[in-house]
Amino acid sequence: MGHAEGTEGCAVMPTISPTAAYRLLTHCRRKGDCLLWVGKSWSRAFRLYADKRKSPIEPSTAAWVLRHGPVPAGHEVVRTCGDYRCITHLAAVTHAMAKHAMGLTRLTPTQVRQLRRAKASPGIRGVGVLALARRFGVSQSAANQARHRATYRWVT
C-alpha cells in the first residue's frame, strides 16, 4: 500500500493498512482514560510498520492518521496526557510548540515578545537585553537569538 497523496497543507503520510490498524489496537491496553501501546520497542521509540515497504512510524502517528487523517505539514504528533505510550490523547503541533510544551525551552512567548520590543527601543532605560536576560534566567546569547528570531520563530 505505498504512500497516500497528501492533501493540500498536509504532509504525505503512509497509508495505514488494515493489518497495521489491527496490530495497533491489539497491542494496546486500557489504563484509565488512556489506550497505551504495549507492543515491541527499541531505542525508547515505539514503532509500527504502516505499509508493505516496512516504513516504521510511531504508534501515536498511526493512531492520529487513523482518527484524523494526515498530519498537517510541518507538524508532529505529541501526547497531551504525559504518558509516552498513550495513543488516545494526541495533538498535532509544530516542533517548536512541542519543545515548549515539554519544557525544553526556557523563555515564554511573552518574554520573547519583551526581548523583541527591547530590540526596537534599545535606548529605554531598564529594558536592555542583558537586563532582561538576567531577569528571565537565560544567557545574553540566548536572549539575542530569541530577539533575532534564530530561536522561537513560532512566536509572533
Confidence category of residue 90, pLDDT binned at 50, 70, 90:
very high
What is the pLDDT of the chain when averaged over all its residues?
A: 76
Mean pLDDT of 104-132: 74
Mean pLDDT of 15-36: 85
One DSSP character per residue, 102-153 reads: TT---S-HHHHHHHHHHHH-TTSTT--HHHHHHHHT--HHHHHHHHTTSS-T
| CA distance linking residue 47 with residue 90, whole number of Å | 16
pLDDT of residue 45: 45
**What sign has the CA pseudo-torsion 142, 148, 97, 54?**
negative
- Give the DSSP H or E segment for 75: strand 75-79
pTM of the predicted protein model? 0.57
* Percentage of the chain modeled with pLDDT above 90: 8
pLDDT of residue 29: 92
